[in-house]
Chains A and B, each alone.
Chain A
Amino acid sequence: MTPALSVQSLTKSFGALKVSDAITFDVAEGELHAIIGPNGAGKTTLIHQLSGSLAPDAGRIAMAGQDITRLSMPARARLGLARSFQITRILAGFTLLENVALAVQARSGSSFRFLRPVAREAALNDQAAEALVTVGLGQSARRIAGTLSHGEKRQLEIAIALAMRPKVLLLDEPLAGTGHAESARLSTLIAGLKGRLSIVLIEHDMEAVFALADRISVLVQGRVIATGTPPEIRANAGVRTAYLGEEEG
């Protein structure tokens, strides 16, 4: 079966620094594929290239068989590619409901409509409210997004992504900087999404990664040194010395 996301020989350099070195991996439909690696390994740079905010020097990215390497970020989003940012990006002056309703609007017909008040479009608001309930922010729909806690902003970003009804979801450290309870709630949420869409998850929390991932790719200095199921990665000697060994001391 055609993979939901296919990355082939993706290469990117910043000057002399090779941040993506012939990265190749596939994400099957419904698979949660985690990317782990030490700080500076090039994980965020990989997400930027997948989402379209950064152009690779070479290589190919395909979604469900369609080459998207040259498509802009908005064009990829419209094909069903959603992402969260390592440093959350939300519309700070908007309410939570407005943030998410805009994501619904993006896939619901033309936005070159000038007359009807958007705040009264029930179809947009209802779907937005539903996404907020899914991530546990249902009570805060009328709050201004800029006033949310760090963890809540992460939840909001996921609500925005889900409201896009994506086929592929890219999550860059969704648990980083969240409190214990928020982190647990987000893990449960991500676990609940598994199987329904394909997810690329970047995360430093190894407990969460090994619990959630179907497969894991290990990125070190821009190279994928191993790809496999959690037990395979745990048993991989190369990974242990290059990465896990350092982490676990």
Chain B
Amino acid sequence: MIGSDRAMLILLAVVAVLPPVLSALGEPFLTVILSRALIFATAALSLDLILGFGAMVSFGHAAYLGIGAYAAGILAANGLTGLEVQVPVALAAAGVFALVTGAISLRTSGVHFIMITLAFGQMAFFLMTSLSAYGGDDGQALAAPSTLFGIAVFDGAARFFYATLAVLALAWLGLRTITRSRFGRVLAGTREDPARMQAMGFSPFGYRLTAYVISGMVAALAGVLLANHAAYISPSYMSWARSGELIAMVALGGMGTLTGPVLGALAFVLAEEALAKLTTHWRLPFGAAVVLAVLFTRGGLMGALSRTRGRK
């Protein structure tokens, strides 16, 4: 775990100095791409809480990205651009959606859980496409960038970049604390063996549902950022394919390590951008490469990293 912490701190430090370096190299647009990668890193981090620590394979996690994005978009369209309003609304909406759908989904397990979370994700997707006042299928431009108590915190690529980096760092610290707490140990215990946990006196349901809600809320935070990054809100943020990509990021980086999914998301988004430049037929080989990487790197990128450093 100490290895994982150090890797994360190094990663944050390296990423933090990149914008001026990229500007000096005449590639300022890479800062924008990097911001996008950091947003997905936050989303992947949130998914790791339930997928990696709780063994809950949610195939509807992109719904929370969408809920966050639409909370920001709908409020902005109605003249409420302040994050001090948008963030609480996004968190509340995601929290309620997670509480209701989680309470139902968590009655099932295995493939049934995957299918039911997928179904709820699609439900959220179709709900957004039906919002004709907010662009329907096509989505619509964000009326105005979000502000914080009137300050234009997202103004300019560099400011936005550091704001996303700060959110990622906070999400990491928060989830790191939770996973090491009493609650986190119980959650990980239910992943190891639910029957053993019940025999000890723990009812897994409440712990799992709580983790599910926290995870959805953190993803919604990433959604608020995503709407600002694209200056657009679209139902495509919550497609089932996007949920699959989030799972791939977590698996690629190493489940249950927190640092791994961040690495996985960065690798995923940057590789996607690079490949899209090379060829228009990049999706199939890229998908295949991700699947192979997940299958053949035991424990994902984080596992490979800790092995080269001689750690367990």
Contacts and interface: CB of A to CB of B under 8 A. Distances in A.
Contact of A92 (B192, B197, B200, B203): B192
Given A74-B198, A89-B196, A92-B192, A102 B180 contact: no
Interface stretch (B119-127, B145-153, B183-191, B271-279): B183-191
A118 B185 contact: yes
Contact of B183 (A83, A94, A114): A114
Which residue of B191, B195, B201, B206 has the most chain A CB atoms within 10 A of its CB atom? B201
Contacts of A72: 198, 203
A116 B199 contact: no
A116 B182 contact: yes
A106 B196 CA distance: 12
Contacts of A160: 196, 200
A90 B196 contact: yes
B178 interface: yes
A90 B200 CA distance: 11
A121 B199 CA distance: 22
Contact of B199 (A73, A111, A119): A73
B-side interface mostly: helix
Contact of A102 (B178, B181, B200, B206): B200
Given A107-B201, A112-B210, A102 B195 contact: no
A116 B189 CA distance: 17
A106 B197 CA distance: 9
A179 B240 CA distance: 52
A91 B198 contact: no
A113 B200 contact: no
A118 B189 CA distance: 13
Given A89-B193, A91-B193, A94-B192, A113 B199 contact: no
Given A89-B195, A92-B193, A102-B189, A117 B202 contact: no
Interface in A73-132: 73-74, 77-78, 82-83, 85, 89-94, 98, 101-103, 105-107, 110-119, 121
A111 B200 contact: no
B196 A91 contact: yes
Contacts of B199: 51, 53, 73, 77, 82-83, 85, 89
B181 A115 contact: yes
Nearest to B177: A115
Contacts of B162: none
Given A74-B198, A77-B199, A107-B201, A118 B184 contact: yes
A105 B185 contact: yes
- Name the interface size band of chain A: 35 or more
B181 A116 contact: yes
Interface string A176-217: 000000000000000000000000000000000000000000
A103 B189 CA distance: 11
A164 interface: yes
Contacts of A118: 180-182, 184-185
Nearest to A112: B183
B182 A106 contact: no
A111 B192 contact: no
Interface string A21-39: 0000000000000000000
Nearest to A103: B200
A74 B202 contact: yes
Contacts of B193: 89-92
A93 B168 CA distance: 28
B181 A113 contact: yes
Nearest to B194: A89
Given A105-B182, A105-B185, A113-B182, A164 B177 contact: no
B207 interface: yes
Nearest to B180: A117
B195 A53 contact: yes
B181 A117 contact: yes
A111 B203 CA distance: 11
B275 to A, nearest CB: 35
B201 A77 contact: yes
Interface in B129-173: none
Nearest to A144: B312
A77 B184 contact: no
A45 B197 CA distance: 19
A111 B207 contact: yes
24 contacts: A51-B199, A53-B198, A72-B203, A74-B200, A74-B203, A77-B201, A83-B199, A92-B192, A92-B193, A94-B188, A94-B192, A98-B185, A103-B200, A105-B182, A106-B201, A107-B201, A111-B182, A113-B181, A113-B183, A115-B177, A115-B181, A118-B180, A118-B182, A121-B182
Given A114-B183, A160-B200, 11 more contacts: A74-B198, A74-B203, A90-B196, A91-B189, A91-B193, A92-B193, A102-B189, A111-B186, A112-B207, A115-B181, A117-B177
Closest 5 A/B residue pairs (Cβ): A77-B201, A91-B192, A106-B201, A89-B196, A73-B198
